[in-house]
Each structure stands twice: as structure tokens, then as C-alpha cells.
Structure 1
């Protein structure tokens, strides 16, 4: 298995995995991917992709001025982290987070943060297993003013 920055040649694999992680119309993901390669997005700043004969995972990274529970104003942030179901539990996720940590250090960050949905128990467990500390549970609310 190896990890490297995503390239245009990885577009279809990245699209497939993004759709699995964030179920939304494929055209939205395809548009975001094209804007990423055109340099027209603020985030992610970096996308790393894991391969073992084929693409089996990715991590999307940004730098945020604030992340819940962090102490610094320049935080490497995991915007998205995905491993194909057949590759879970084999160290791919850990390798992606290790690569994310290295990227964060190269960007002069001293903290790596992430988030997950409140009910995503497996993601929370994976984060904890890799040394993340849970800092908060946030519920967001909306009220229409019309």
C-alpha cells in the first residue's frame, strides 16, 4: 500500500469514494473535484489517496483558523476521511491519518482536528483508536425566518 497526493488520473476513484462517504448527487462531487484541480476551492488544500493495486481510501485536508477544542489558530483539519469497506481494519485509515499528520507538520501546524456526525459510532471509534481526543459534541439547529 502507498499514499500520494491525488492527481487528475485519480478523478474517477476519488469521485467514487467521495460519493460513498457523502451521499449527494454525483454532479456536485464531480464539480468540486474539477474546481479542486483548477485551483478554485479554498478547501480541501490537499487530498491524499491510498492505493493497493487500486484506490482504497483518501483524506481531504485543510487548514482552519479555529477547530473545536484546539488551542492554536492554525489547525490542520481532516475535512473527509474514507477507506473502502473491504480495506477497513487493515491499517489504511491509520496510514492516511499518519500522512495527514505529516502534511500538517509541513504546513507549520501543531494540531490535527477532525469531526464526525454524532451518530457515526465507527468513525468516532476509529478517531479514538488513532489518538484523537473527543473535545465536544455539537448539535446544530436552524429556524426559518420567512
Structure 2
């Protein structure tokens, strides 16, 4: 198992995993991921992925908020 920063090659698998978690937002996932790589995201400051045998097995997105939900 390898934990590493996400890179643009991870977009399809990362988007797929996000869609599995939040199925009603596929287009929004792609927009947010693309914004992350364009360094314009306000939702994702850093993303790490878990890679096992060359396949992504998980991810964590990090952000600092100035409010609590």
C-alpha cells in the first residue's frame, strides 16, 4: 500500500470513488477535481490517494474551514 499525493492521472479513479460516495454529483466531482489541479479549488486544499497493486483504493481530501457544520 502506498499513500501519495493525487496527480492528474488519478482523475478517473478519484472521480469514480467520489461518485460512489455521493452518487448525485458526478459532474460536480469532475469540476472540483479539475479545480484542484488548476489550483483554484476552494473545497480541496490537498488530496492523498491510497494505491494498492497499481489501483487506487481510497482517498482523503483536506481543507481548513473557518466554520463548523
1:18 aligns with: 18
Where do 5+ consecutive residues of structure 1 fail to align? 69-146
Cα distance in 1, alignment partners of residues 23 and 5 from structure 2 = 23
Cα distance in 1, alignment partners of residues 30 and 66 from structure 2 = 27
Task: Return the structure number with greater strand share.
Answer: 2
Name the Cα RMSD after superposition. 1.4
2:50 aligns with: 50
Moved over 6 A (4+): none
Q: How many residues align?
A: 68
State how 1:29-68 maps to structure 2 within 5 Å.
29-53=29-53, 54-67=55-68
Structure of larger gyration radius: 1
TM, length-normalised to structure 2? 0.87
Deviation, 1:66, is 3.6
Where do 5+ consecutive residues of structure 2 fail to align? none
